[in-house]
Amino acid sequence: MFDYAPAPEARSIVDIKPSYGLFINGEFVDPAEGGTFKTISPATEEVLAEVAEAGPSDVDAAVRAARAAFRTVWGPMPGAARAKYLYRIARLIQERARELAVLESLDNGKPIRESRDVDIPLAAAHFFYYAGWADKLEHAGFGPAPRPLGVAAQVIPWNFPLLMLAWKIAPALACGNTVVLKPAETTPLSALVFAEICQQADLPPGVVNIVTGAGATGAALVAHPDVDKVAFTGSTAVGREIARAVAGTRKRLTLELGGKAANIVFDDAPIDQAVEGIVNGIFFNQGHVCCAGSRLLVQESIYEPLLDSLKRRMARLRVGDPLDKNTDIGAINSAAQLERIRALAEVGSAEGAVPWSPPCELPDRGFWFAPTIFTGVSQAHRIAREEIFGPVLSVLTFRTPAEAVEKANNTPYGLSAGIWTEKGSRILEIADRLRAGVVWANTFNRFDPSSPFGGYKESGYGREGGRHGLEAYLAH
């Protein structure tokens, strides 16, 4: 294995302001109450910017701005006119793609290759896709005269900050709703630059409002009485709290929560291709993926050759500077998340599973965790049942297809799964029996704006993406 010369992306392309206010009614404003918090780079622990923390009165101002814009401008606007704004936003994301990619990697810790090649292009693609729907809603299959709901409160996580924003905002706006969005407190910067993009696009004031803050800000937004729709992506625990808060109100709710996906490899699968899919399934975005293939189910007859191949591949993964174009695995998003990953990995060892990591030198500063696989895992182990949300893979085996399905479905989650086999008939049969919202065949972590995404059981309910993603934002 040869050494790669450093290939850092230029940080100077991003002009991060020292401080950011709240984006309410088309303008950046100081919070009326609440204070500020710092957002840091997880790779270096340096402070990137100071960000306003919205209090209840700030959330109320944002919701009132959204309601006014819905009644006077955005709700009555013809779909074709709304589409023009969405197309404009999509093109501006493309024009500022390099800047957004660097900003996302700085604030989130993910490798620049991923933010450049996945996050930002997909974010633009979602706005393009839903712009196409804006004047065709009566043909979406949700009745002859579907109507927008009103004001959508949207709370997004830190693992795909701009992409999750696009998943939420694009369909809401296409349907004629206005939005108040709260980004995660550890990754607010790309949402605040998106607010600048809304200004660039001359989006009418109040159509999109961005309130930054921690859990209390999100709770105030979800509980606001003048919100018509709540959309949340994040942990199952917080999802339960939101479901309780919304219960008994008129608010519509969609939840996209945790996962513990099974990646099933049958004995006729091409091993090298499967290994690439396994690596992509669990080490993409440092495993900070709700649909990550964190449980590998391998047919017994190929267990040893597949494990040998997987270890060889993992030994070539490069961990380090997220802004280096050679980096495969960047920094863990926060100190709190790193502590959770470490704690669950220690539990795995204590319960008798055997960890293995390739030799890799981790940086001295920042939050880092080496890519790790656990063998000797049983279904009773916590690492096989709980979502670790990090670069940690549990390896289990099976003998028959029926056993594979049983083990795959033996989880409180049901977000995604992967199947690796040469037989198309087996793919269809197994996929039909898996209790998962998305099943990938001979690939993993492939996303497209025209394809719906969502889960069963403790992975939430409702669908985002595709025609299905419109339904949650329409009254019909």
Give CA torsion, residues 191, 197, 203, 204, to 10 deg: 60
DSSP state string for 292-325:
---EEEEEGGGHHHHHHHHHHHHTT--BS-TTBT
The whole-angstrom separation of Cα 84 and Cα 90 is 10
126 vs 120: CA distance, rounded Å: 10
- The token duo for 146 is 């579907």
SS3 content of the chain, % helix, strand, coil (to 5): 40, 20, 40
To the query of whether residue 290 is one of the catalytic residues in this protein, the response is: yes
138 is catalytic: no
Structure-token pair, residue 129: 């896709």
Decide: 188 and 194 in contact? Cβ < 8 Å: no
> What's the rounded Cα separation, in Å, for the pair 274 and 263?
9
User: What is the rounded CA–CA span in Å between residue 62 and residue 181?
Assistant: 9
- For residues 167 and 290, the answer to whether their CB atoms sit within 8 Å is no
Q: Are strands 208-210 and 47-52 parallel, antiparallel or unpaired?
A: unpaired
Cβ distance 369 to 322 under 8 Å? Answer: no
Q: Rounded to whole angstroms, how far apart are CA atoms 201 and 271?
A: 48
| Residues 127, 170 contacting (CB under 8 angstroms) | yes
Q: Determine which one of 104, 114, 256, 464 is catalytic.
A: 256
Phi, psi of 348 (to 5 degrees): -60, -45
Single out the catalytic residue among 9, 290, 291, 471: 290
Angle at 457 between CA 454 and CA 463, to 5 degrees: 20
Closest CA relative to residue 263, chosen from 291, 302, 297, 306: 297
Burial grade of 454 (CB within 10 A; 0-12, 13-18, 19 or more): buried
Give 366's DSSP letter. Answer: S
Tell me the β-bridge partners of 153.
180, 230
Angle, vertex CA 356, rays to CA 353 and CA 357, nearest 5: 145
Q: Could you give the residue numbers annotated as active site?
A: 256, 290
